[in-house]
Structure 1
């Protein structure tokens, strides 16, 4: 099958979250199965330096009045995946991040920036002759590409099946109605059953209502978003289309995330050489100037610092946990209040707490290999990738039972691989962390859990068949 995969970020070119990991790995896994997959993504500043020389370019014109849209054909050197980069200096060449400025504020023209990406994806899907390649499937990801489904609907195009994947429903890409006139879309789409969203218009809702299939990144999250608690105002829409909604768990690229071959960690190890994990633990503690006692547990966090992730709960319980001799190593950024609170915790416990604000890929690997337990107390979690990485490194996740965390981490039974709590409150989290500490000191039980964790297979190869079946059902219903 020929699959056009549209995304606003792709690892290793640019990454702000799990979407980039998925967009960087799922096309590679599908290509290994013999499918012809091509990516489309904006040519943000600095991206051209990370790809192979441009093989071909075409000018798509100036549909939004902000400058010509150029489509550049190249490939990603690390995995040879073909990619089309959409170049428009006025839209994408900025010193800041892909979505927000240096103050964390959304760019005012995000509706046009991602309308252009969506328009280009829809144009390619409809007019394959432009690049001598006609897609069988258009696969959209999150609100930034959801408008593509609306363009195809608006053009009354000859039908090409559209799949929309929701990585996080909370980010719905909604904008003021007074911005709609610049979108080059038919106002006929602005209905309750179209892309209108509580008096605004939404890229994600467009991607949902005009898609042939909608997927989420875990089976449990696919059920949760049908409820008002998790539906973020879209639960009614999703309930009306639940026959075309399916949850497919994200996978992991074990070429990148496996302690036996990871070139970014201090010392390689595997399930049969688990004791070598201690070498990584000691190196991580030394790197951060923390107490080097290997007989006490080290908790870790690799996360966006947001209320969604439940990291305010960690702040409430951490002083009592630290008093038991544990340590905490955090890597993340986000909410300025949470950033400052964690920096204050580090100041108060300088030999037990290390905080790095930002995201550093190399360091995240060393952190996963060096900590004992990973904290993910999320209020909701569509899939979560960090717990999947942690499992392979023999790092036991401590998670709230929600979304993809509920699908992948289990405290009870023969295949127990972590620690789970139910309620999003400090008491439940503290009880789970205390169970973690207790188990850590029961060396045999801890090691059994580690071996269980490392034996799970959450590789992309294991889930690619589900994607193939979904695509085929849309092409040959």
Structure 2
């Protein structure tokens, strides 16, 4: 059985800030169903005991960067995925990111993961690393030919500490190249993937490459693009206990009470006929908040539309949206918080979902919205290109409304076209149903990840997955204990 260790800063439902958490929380359990021995290694955050049972005794104790750490073994809630928690006082606070020690904390985490992989009794064949927090692992694993590495870029904008800072904190091997953590990772990983095919191409250009476009073009031969999926079992409008009235693609007429319930919950005027738009997002520039702040006053001023915003982010955008809500009482509600249950009610109750991103590696929210019959209004960039197609009423095709240029007027036009289409209930309902019928399950995406795992191991792409029952008869090469003269990550 092929052994794979996911190393990441997030894993839903325990710790989720962005799309990485959804990927790490959902993909391993699907891969285990396909016969892979997949496990997760993540930090032991201070808030985890509130969400799960963690054993008192560690399964392993190690040292890295002159620090002693412990590794606790548990199970990802609601799954059979083994979970290794990296325990150190620097992660005991009730936060995932931010803080002056962020670079140091996650560099220590990556060091700990390397020591664990080299010395623990269970050894992976593939180390699947996620974003800059694990960027040094492909560099260190370069000296371990029995361990293959795959590096996933979830957001290129965050590239980790510079080389000079890394040299102050940890061991940078003599062969290491790259001016920061992510630049080193993409050079030394066996394969690199991003979370959508379009984003994989866009980051090779100056507009999206975040100064790494030249390097990413150079290593493009080992780069892949695989669209994220969503957990269709966990997010199912037919069975979701967090929404007022469950419904399905063939019972979409039962969706209407969710809109009234949402309006009442967030303090909007109860109006079944209002065009209700929703935003569930980090409130940062990447998500197109400058377009929203510029154009929403005009749009709300000339239509009977309503808007609910759910999320947190930059103080500037929080303040702008809060002040705007004061100018449109009963028609705009701003909820500055993270609330998974409320986000489901937004998807289930809103008519349209706004996502005018400046760039978007993949995006999960637009897929969630379509899953719940909420029509996305998106900019054609990154994963939004791969998941949302423009509505064409003449041919009954498309799943949302798209605009190309990152310009306020283009965004405004897309909102106007959607609000006008909403006036024709029959066609709008068919548009909702087309979105709900899209297959965004992880089972579909997992097939592409399996191909990538086979490729990195040198296995035939048409070779069937070896299951636990077959392992005695057909076993892949077993990773060996690293030699005792191997340099440690803390050297």
- Fold shared, TM-score > 0.5 on shorter chain: yes
Alignment partners' CA distance in 1, 2:57 and 2:449: 30
**Which residues of structure 2 form unaligned runs of 5+?**
460-491
Deviations 1:351-394 (A, max 9, x none): 10000112111111111111000000001100000000011111
- The Cα shift of 1:187 comes to 5.0
Alignment partners' CA distance in 1, 2:111 and 2:59: 15
The corresponding residue for 1:103 is none
Alignment partners' CA distance in 1, 2:65 and 2:49: 23
- Conservation of the 8 A alpha-carbon contact between 2:125 and 2:146: no
Match of 1:98 among 96, 105, 111: 96
Structure 2 counterparts to residues 358-377 of structure 1, below 5 A:
358-377=337-356
Alignment partners' CA distance in 2, 1:237 and 1:27: 30
- The Cα shift of 1:152 comes to 2.0
- Determine if the alignment matches structure 1 residue 8 to structure 2 residue 6: no
- Determine if the alignment matches structure 1 residue 173 to structure 2 residue 151: no
Alignment partners' CA distance in 1, 2:163 and 2:454: 37
- Determine if the alignment matches structure 1 residue 424 to structure 2 residue 406: yes
Higher relative contact order (CA 8 A, sep 6+): 2
Deviations 1:68-108 (A, max 9, x none): 1111111123213101000011x21114x2111xxxxxx22
Alignment partners' CA distance in 2, 1:138 and 1:374: 36
- Conservation of the 8 A alpha-carbon contact between 2:199 and 2:381: yes
Match of 1:195 among 178, 184, 191: 178
Alignment partners' CA distance in 1, 2:213 and 2:326: 43
- The Cα shift of 1:318 comes to 1.2
- Determine if the alignment matches structure 1 residue 462 to structure 2 residue 463: no
The corresponding residue for 1:73 is 73
Alignment partners' CA distance in 2, 1:47 and 1:258: 25
Alignment partners' CA distance in 2, 1:424 and 1:356: 26
The secondary structure found in structure 2 opposite 1:267 is coil
- Determine if the alignment matches structure 1 residue 259 to structure 2 residue 237: yes
Alignment partners' CA distance in 2, 1:250 and 1:447: 26
Deviations 1:103-126 (A, max 9, x none): xxxx22222211222122223333
The corresponding residue for 2:485 is none
The corresponding residue for 1:61 is 62
Match of 2:172 among 172, 185, 205: 185
Structure 2 counterparts to residues 162-241 of structure 1, below 5 A:
162-175=149-162, 177-178=164-165, 180-186=167-173, 188-189=175-176, 194-196=177-179, 202-241=180-219
- Determine if the alignment matches structure 1 residue 453 to structure 2 residue 435: yes
Cα RMSD of the aligned pairs, angstroms, is: 1.5
- Conservation of the 8 A alpha-carbon contact between 1:111 and 1:175: no
Structure 2 counterparts to residues 387-466 of structure 1, below 5 A:
387-413=366-392, 414-466=396-448
- CA change 1:61–1:133 in 2 (3 A) is closer
The corresponding residue for 1:157 is 144
- Conservation of the 8 A alpha-carbon contact between 1:119 and 1:151: no
The corresponding residue for 1:271 is 249
- Conservation of the 8 A alpha-carbon contact between 1:282 and 1:370: yes
- The Cα shift of 1:263 comes to 1.3
The corresponding residue for 2:105 is 113
The TM-score, its normalising length taken from structure 1, stands at 0.92
